[in-house]
Amino acid sequence: MQNLMPPVATIVPTTHTIHGDTRTDNYRWLQDKTSAEVIAYLNAENDYTKSVMEPTEALQKTLYDEMLSRIQETDLSVPYKYGDWLYYVRTEEGKQYPIYCRKQGDECTEVVTLDVNVLAEGEKFMSVGAYAISDDGNLLAYTTDNTGFREYTLRIKNLQTGELLPDVIEKVDGVSWAADSKTLFYVTEDETKRPHEIYRYVIGSPASGGGGGTLIYAEPDALYRAFAYRSRDKKFLFVGSASSTTTELHYLETDNPTGELTVILPREENHEYYAEHRDGLFYLRTNKDALTFKLIATPVSAPEPLHWSDVIPYRPEVGLEDFDLFSGHLVASEQADGLPQLRVLDFSTGDEHTINFPEPTYSASSDVNREFDTTIFRFRYSSLVTPLSVFDYDLSSRERTLLKETPVPGGWDRTQYVSERLFATAGDGTKIPLSIVRHKDTPVDGTAACVLYGYGSYGIIMPASFRTGIFSLLDRGVVYAIGHIRGGGEYGKPWHDAAKLMFKKNTFTDFIACADFLVEQGHADREKLAIMGGSAGGLLMGAVVNLRPDVAKLCLSYVPFVDVINTMLDDTLPLTVGEYLEWGNPNEPEAYAYMKSYSPYDQLEAKPYPTMLVKTSLNDSQVMYWEPAKYVAKLRTLKTDSNPLLLHCNMDAGHGGASGRYDALTEAAFDYAFLLTQLGLV
């Protein structure tokens, strides 16, 4: 057994004064990733964590084997049609990464377009970003990241010969093909990882500009991120820029890739809109005079509001999240009463209907739908007790066909589990939904262990979807719950707006209300309650344990955004400036004071804290590794309890942790072993 004493970080005070307020940061030196001393400290933390967890290695192996037994290692996705080919992804037993393939028919010979296992040879990390096939089916444009920093490199593959073209372009954020199958549009990032420029590139052209090609669009405003995408009917390329509150789109006909961009609607503060095209009309999802969005149609030649006609009118109680446009139908992805629904509109008859789902809490969304001239809509559905299922839905006949339910081997039986939807009450009376799942034999009498997961930022909806790993917890009597707290998007944009900027603390108090509700209603024993969150959900964890250190016995915090003030004051970091619209700009005194009042790193105090496992990755580009490292170092000097406090830094990954599927299972087994051991369940 190795040393069981936690490492002690050197104190090197650094002071910073703004708005007349002076803060001292004793651990700023940990922000030098090139420092041998920093790497040594992170390795020491990893060694300490390994020492503490050494007695759980047999349990980790048991959990790993259990979770692996519920995965069909050799598997195949449902093929989707694009052009003359059927495309799919498969996995092979023993291989970490997916294999991208295609066929020209069910009985035809398989062609491997991209084997990620081959790309990963000799690499400690591998992730595929873009995967775009040219209209003629002959070329594949794809991007890869081999560090976890989410810095992607573009390459082109000739699918007829299998050869890689010499074209290589760095820092590419997204790609779209023109109709000629030789012109490619791609988005590049600046030094802060903000997508800011879009280039037109003819395959085989000499390198120039952003790595190759002609600049067609540049976004100078640091609040905005540039993007490009193609309409489903393939006639238009949409090029635009968006902050978290404002959008501006331009368009270009894809059969004229050298043409000029034309603006649809000039940017207008707090106006968000997103476009698709059908039969000479732009369909715009817009929040102009419609807080939860509406859908309008307008002529391509006259997109101004004067010419708008409602397709799906504004309904304050329903959030219009997205839409899929086809030649004869429209499918809207909506949030109603905090749950997803799919609304179908038939253009020929004007009839509307919704696709119904049977369970009290679930996840449902559009799947891959590449064809425009079709009456078949593909969607995916799952719940906490229903594995991921892919359906084809006939938009005319309303017939629903199950194409595949993801197999769950290992003796798993869905009838052994119970899922429900309950509501906690926040301090201001707001009802906060919880999605809950447990083994049917787990009592609801206040004696059960429980894991409560939360996020609550950016308007992101936390889906109540199937997770094979959690059944290793449920089978041991642990209740699993998701708190759909404000700051997310479960009730559309108002739910997000109610817990961002100067209302951010609603996220934290909502989560505490969920935890208290679970205890009060008998779903959890406070002494066996664990809370869990990552990234902005890690900020949630840090804020909650500062506000209510007694709220739970255990806290698992992943890549946590805990050093809010220091990060938001550094506009050279990735994401910072664009995030002003979510968190506020600390260069403004009022925003600074409010942020400081909840920033977990700044609000640490000398008092007892729960048992904690904090995880990060050295190559994280979204929440820099030093935030959790500094947080743990400072907390060790303040906490007055003897509860374990562990930091683990993956030295070869980024924001999402390990990239290989078996490595990801190993990480999950480690976390669950810590949780079960510390809650006294093994």
- In DSSP notation, 454-480 reads E---TT--------GGGHHHHTTTEEE
Q: State the catalytic residue, choosing from 173, 324, 367, 620.
A: 620
Q: Is the pLDDT of residue 352 over 70?
A: yes
pLDDT mean over 465-484: 98
Ranges 27-41, 178-192, 206-220, 224-238: which has the least confidence: 206-220
Report the predicted TM-score, pTM, of the whole model to 2 decimal places.
0.96
CB atoms within 10 A of CB 519: 18
Q: Is 655 one of the catalytic residues? A: yes
CB atoms within 10 A of CB 36: 8
Tokens found for residue 132? 């775009």
pLDDT at 212 (0 to 100): 72
Q: Is the pLDDT of residue 208 over 50?
A: no
Q: Is the pLDDT of residue 543 over 80?
A: yes
Ranges 106-115, 452-461, 505-514: which has the least confidence: 106-115
pLDDT mean over 571-591: 96
Q: Is the pLDDT of residue 451 over 60?
A: yes
Q: Is the pLDDT of residue 327 over 80?
A: yes
- Residue where the block lists tokens 């060790």: 636
DSSP SS3 for 422: strand
DSSP SS3 for 501: helix
Residue extents of the structural domains in the chain:
320-408, 416-678
The answer to whether residues 13 and 61 touch, using CB atoms and an 8 Å cutoff, is no
Q: Is the pLDDT of residue 107 over 90?
A: no
Please state, in angstroms and rounded to a whole number, the distance separating the CA atoms of residues 84 and 104. Answer: 6
pLDDT at 251 (0 to 100): 98
Tokens found for residue 499? 């817990």
pLDDT mean over 72-77: 97
Q: Is the pLDDT of residue 211 over 80?
A: no
- Residue where the block lists tokens 């331009």: 250
pLDDT tens digit string along 530-539? 999 999 999 9
The answer to whether residues 559 and 535 touch, using CB atoms and an 8 Å cutoff, is yes
pLDDT tens digit string along 377-396? 999 999 999 999 999 999 99
Tokens found for residue 103? 């066929």
Please state, in angstroms and rounded to a whole number, the distance separating the CA atoms of residues 49 and 160. Answer: 50
pLDDT tens digit string along 628-654? 999 999 999 999 999 999 999 999 999
pLDDT mean over 214-230: 97
As a whole-number percent, the residues of the chain with pLDDT over 70 amount to 99
> Looking at this protein, which amino acid is placed at residue 520?
E
Q: State the catalytic residue, choosing from 134, 176, 244, 535.
A: 535
Q: Is 620 one of the catalytic residues? A: yes
Q: Is the pLDDT of residue 1 over 60?
A: no
pLDDT at 204 (0 to 100): 83
Query: Which residues are CB-contacts of 672 (< 8 A; sequence separation ≥ 6)?
Result: 63, 469, 472, 473
Q: Which segments of 178-314 are extended strands (E)?
A: 183-189, 195-202, 214-218, 225-230, 236-242, 247-253, 262-265, 273-278, 281-286, 294-299, 309-312
Residue 209's pLDDT band (boundaries 50, 70, 90)?
very low
Task: Give me the DSSP letters along 99-133.
Answer: EEEEESSTTSPPEEEEEHHHHTTT-S--EEEEEEE
Please state, in angstroms and rounded to a whole number, the distance separating the CA atoms of residues 79 and 388. Answer: 15
The answer to whether residues 273 and 257 touch, using CB atoms and an 8 Å cutoff, is no
Q: Is the pLDDT of residue 540 over 80?
A: yes
In CATH, which superfamily holds the domain spanning 416-678? Alpha/Beta hydrolase fold, catalytic domain (3.40.50.1820)
pLDDT at 3 (0 to 100): 54
What H or E segment, with its residue span, contains residue 17? strand 14-18
Residue 196's pLDDT band (boundaries 50, 70, 90)?
very high
Angle at 386 between CA 380 and CA 389, to 5 degrees: 25
Please state, in angstroms and rounded to a whole number, the distance separating the CA atoms of residues 134 and 437. Answer: 44
pLDDT tens digit string along 548-574? 999 999 999 999 999 999 999 999 999
Region of residue 450 (phi > 0: left; psi between -120 and 50: alpha; otherwise: beta): beta
Please state, in angstroms and rounded to a whole number, the distance separating the CA atoms of residues 458 and 449. Answer: 30
